Amino acid sequence: MKVYQPNEIKNITLMGSAGSGKTTLAEAMMFEGGLINRRGDIESKNTVSDYHRIEHEQQRSLYSTVLHVEFNNKKLNIIDTPGLDDFVGGVISSLAVTDSAIMNINATQGVEVGTQILARHAKRLNVALLIAINQLDQEKANFEKAVDDLKGLFGSKLVLIQYPVNAGSGFNAVVDVLKMKMYKWGPDGGVPEVLEIPADEKEKADELHNTLVESAAENDDSLMELFFEKGSLSEDQMREGIRCGIKKRTLFPLFCVSGKKDMGVRRMMEFVGNVAPAPNEMTGMKNSKDQEIICDPSGKTALFVFKTSVEEHLGEVLFFKVMSGKVTEAMDLINSKKGAKERISQLFAVAGKNRIKLSEMVAGDIGATVKLKETKTNHTLSEKDFGPAFPAISFPDPKFRTAIKAVSESDDEKLGELLNRMHEEDPTIIIEYSKELKQIIVHGQGEFHLNTMRWQLTNLHKIETEFLNPKIPYRETITKPAQADYRHKKQSGGAGQFGEVHMIIEPYLQDVPPPTSFRIDNKEYTLSIRGTDEQQLSWGGKLVFHNCIVGGSIDARFHPAILKGIMEKMEEGPLTGSYARDIRVFIYDGKMHPVDSNEISFKLAGRNAFSQAFKKAAPKIMEPIYDVEVLVPADYMGDVMSDLQGRRAMIAGMSSESGYEKLSARVPLAELNKYSTTLSSLTSGSATYTMKFSEYAPVPGDVQEKLLKAYEEESKEE
């Protein structure tokens, strides 16, 4: 394979909702480019992408697959991505390194919830967008409805390059209003017959052609002047205007294809090669110092690793984009994160599990390498003195969590290693080793996402695991001041133990100064603060420790021990064993013994005094609250809202967006267990949601009672 220069490379993400035909379209593109001599199909489990065993079993894409094809003296790097929202990480990592995306639309379904979500990601990452209405050969294909849906999503930015003459089971022809020709295919697709537009289609074609000319002219001032002067543009001028519009995301061209029958695919690939932006035409990726790195083959070499995969018989494969300079075999580069030297022993152009060995790649190209020691996804490899690394790809917050454990304790260590490796392969899988909950919590994008992870553990690594209901990270706090004192006294022959601590506690509120007097149980306390120690708690909130000792009743050397005892009880709250937070403590009196007082005595005295005071201070259990946003078809809105209200949700707002309803709510985490499964069941899989931590809030009284009883029972059992 020749070394392609930036202007000869087109990097494309292939995306769309599940069932929109991406993998079948990718297969047709590989065939048209001569990479394969026979098109595979999903049912036969022989496509270039979707080559993993679980993808064969599920008959759907679960991983992003890097492909390439040489076509018309251009190299098209194509990344086929999963359609299920559970595997959105593969889409986002692909969009991060490509310059344009082909959005597949199922001609029988039109715009789906997944389409809207993917369009948002493309917009956020400033990726140029082309639209392919696929599966036009299906009996229930409805091109007009699909276009109407797309206009609702993209407005006037959507511009038809083609429309079908006969969508449906007899589909075999499109009118191309850029070329002003009709393309007609035989039953096996492939190379079309190019014909003049039939008379009965001429008026429609002329109207769409004029719309396209105007849209192209609007994207370039000189073309607009030319258009006003001549009333039209040449094909080359139109192509230039369209290129400008695609780059600026002010124009989204629409094509008609049948990936299964290989109709319209070649023409779309010609357009991509001629018009879609090359990497050196787009804004360069910015490094962590917000400096733009130009796609320049003569610059210093820098690679960005966007995907890691473990392949059978090969080991770890790292997929990268050359951001600057050029990379060659046997080149030594520095891992910016680890500071370690890595040797690029091999370079590959990739097509699924097939790899073509290369000796050199230049800026803008996408490839793979193997056998690196320290490098993982989101790492930068560069020449010395290149400068700051590229920032990590930002992935969506997880929306499903479960606890996991190995069935056999002997597998615990291996399970931990594999979970960490799976996070490296898929950063949307978050592993949390929770000391607080005494569980390994796995966070992902949905139940199917984590079930797929578990399938890998069972079938590829031979580790049996079980999923458990994850505990909720509650917090404990207080709502009013309280006083307590505690004397720890122990005699056992020899030196004894003695420590007495008197304290007052109250809720800590940000920016509220500490009081100097309290009235508790009809008794007045006047305090003089001698010193303050603020503890910023790793689990959120604060503990503020005030020394108010007068007259040396407790020696200063014992104050750290008292604080340590209090912190121990903060880590295991008096109500349910959850972390406590946002408490102010005043140590105002106590007693010592000249022989028996020591640090352990005052630690225990402080711990027990704090526990007693806490229980008198109208304690409250706090629960994590999440902001949830649901995107749902209007027909299911009532069911979704009823379900959320049954989960103690507070509805925050509703709005409409391109034919879908957007519902915003605040929901306790305790009520969101397996919500993705319920939502899918309620809406036949047509809705999706996001969730993001908001704050901790008090649980209702009845819920607190249940939690206290459950903790009491659990403590008895232990």
Q: Are residues 336 and 453 in the same domain?
A: no
Can you give the pLDDT at residue 715? 76
Length of the chain: 718
Q: Are residues 108 and 218 in the same domain?
A: yes
- Which letter does DSSP use for residue 7 in this model? G
Sequence-ordered strand ranges (E) for 158-279? 158-160, 162-164, 173-176, 181-184, 193-195, 252-256
Q: Are residues 589 and 668 in the same domain?
A: no
pLDDT surpassing 90 at residue 508: yes
Q: Are residues 88 and 146 in the same domain?
A: yes
554-573 pLDDT, tens digit per residue, is 999 999 999 999 999 999 99
187-214 pLDDT, tens digit per residue, is 888 899 999 999 999 999 999 999 998 8
365-412 pLDDT, tens digit per residue, is 999 999 899 999 999 999 988 888 999 999 999 999 999 999 999 999
Bridge partners (DSSP) listed for residue 628: 665, 691
Can you give the pLDDT at residue 621? 96
Is residue 549 situated within a structural domain?
A: yes
Residue position matching structure tokens 């109500």: 575
Q: How would you list the strands of the sheet with 162-164, edge to edge? A: 162-164, 173-176, 181-184, 193-195
Mean pLDDT of 253-277: 95
Q: Are residues 259 and 359 in the same domain?
A: no
The 3-state DSSP class for residue 65 equals strand
Q: What are phi and psi for residue 280, nearest 5 degrees? A: -80, -5
CA-to-CA separations, 505 to 75, 342, 437, in angstroms, rounded:
69, 56, 26
Can you give the pLDDT at residue 227? 72
d(CA 481, CA 503): 11
d(CA 174, CA 171): 9
104-117 pLDDT, tens digit per residue, is 999 999 999 889 89
The residue out of 252, 281, 310 marking a domain boundary is 281
CATH number for the domain harbouring residue 448: 3.30.70.870
The residue out of 590, 618, 646 marking a domain boundary is 618
Can you give the pLDDT at residue 718? 59
Is residue 646 situated within a structural domain?
A: yes
Q: Are residues 219 and 360 in the same domain?
A: no
Mean pLDDT computed over every residue of the chain: 93
Is residue 386 situated within a structural domain?
A: no
Is residue 592 situated within a structural domain?
A: yes
Token pair recorded at residue 75? 């190299």
Taking every pair of C-alpha atoms in the chain, what is the biggest distance, in angstroms?
Answer: 112
CATH number for the domain harbouring residue 515: 3.30.230.10
pLDDT surpassing 80 at residue 226: no
Q: Are residues 162 and 221 in the same domain?
A: yes
pLDDT surpassing 80 at residue 324: yes
271: buried, middle or exposed (CB in 10 Å: 19+, 13-18, 0-12)?
Answer: buried
pTM for the full predicted model? 0.88
Mean pLDDT of 266-275: 95
Q: Within 13 Å and on the Cβ side, how many CA atoms surround 100? A: 34
- Which letter does DSSP use for residue 285 in this model? P
417 within 8 A of 302, measured Cβ to Cβ:
no
Is residue 290 situated within a structural domain?
A: no
Amino acid at 544: V
Q: How far is C-alpha 484 from the geometric centre of its chain's CA atoms?
A: 48
350 within 8 A of 66, measured Cβ to Cβ:
yes
Can you give the pLDDT at residue 627? 96
> Angle 194-146-27 (CA atoms, 0-180°, nearest 5)?
55
Is residue 625 situated within a structural domain?
A: yes
d(CA 601, CA 559): 11
The 3-state DSSP class for residue 705 equals helix
Q: Are residues 307 and 376 in the same domain?
A: yes
Mean pLDDT of 482-489: 96
Count how many domains the chain has: 5
Lowest mean pLDDT among 217-221, 314-318, 412-416, 649-653: 217-221
Lowest mean pLDDT among 236-245, 282-291, 489-498: 489-498
3-class SS letters over 304-351: EEEEEEEECCCEEEEEEEEEECEEECCEEEEECCCCCEEEECCEEEEE
d(CA 121, CA 98): 13
pLDDT surpassing 70 at residue 341: yes
> Angle 550-553-554 (CA atoms, 0-180°, nearest 5)?
105
Bridge partners (DSSP) listed for residue 317: 309, 370
d(CA 184, CA 190): 10
The residue out of 447, 466, 485 marking a domain boundary is 466
Question: How many percent of the chain have pLDDT more than 70?
Answer: 99
Bridge partners (DSSP) listed for residue 693: 626
Amino acid at 654: M
Pairing of strands 360-362, 439-444: unpaired
Q: Within 13 Å and on the Cβ side, how many CA atoms surround 518? A: 19
pLDDT surpassing 90 at residue 220: no
Can you give the pLDDT at residue 230? 73
Neighbours of 297 (CB within 10 A): 18
74-104 pLDDT, tens digit per residue, is 999 999 999 999 999 999 999 999 999 999 9
Collect all residues with Cβ–Cβ distance below 8 Å to 234 and sequence separation of at least 6: none
Q: Are residues 277 and 356 in the same domain?
A: no
Token pair recorded at residue 188? 């096996």
CATH number for the domain harbouring residue 318: 2.40.30.10
475 within 8 A of 457, measured Cβ to Cβ:
no
Q: Which domain holds residue 455?
A: 400-466
Is residue 43 situated within a structural domain?
A: yes
Q: Which of 561, 485, 556 is nearest to 525 (CA)?
A: 485
CATH number for the domain harbouring residue 678: 3.30.70.240
pLDDT surpassing 70 at residue 538: yes
Pairing of strands 579-580, 531-536: unpaired
Amino acid at 555: D
Q: How far is C-alpha 612 from the geometric centre of its chain's CA atoms?
A: 44
Residue position matching structure tokens 């995969």: 309
Q: Which of 303, 305, 307, 283 is nearest to 294 (CA)?
A: 283
Can you give the pLDDT at residue 444? 95
457-473 pLDDT, tens digit per residue, is 999 999 999 999 999 99
Is residue 713 situated within a structural domain?
A: no
Q: Are residues 89 and 164 in the same domain?
A: yes
Give the confidence band of 353 by pLDDT, cuts at 50, 70, 90.
confident
Can you give the pLDDT at residue 284? 84
Neighbours of 67 (CB within 10 A): 25
Q: What are phi and psi for residue 489, nearest 5 degrees? A: -140, 130
Q: Are residues 351 and 428 in the same domain?
A: no
pLDDT surpassing 90 at residue 492: no
Dihedral-angle region of residue 391 (phi above 0 means left; psi in -120 to 50 means alpha; beta otherwise): beta
488 within 8 A of 499, measured Cβ to Cβ:
yes
Lowest mean pLDDT among 11-20, 230-239, 365-374, 569-578: 230-239
Q: Are residues 355 and 425 in the same domain?
A: no
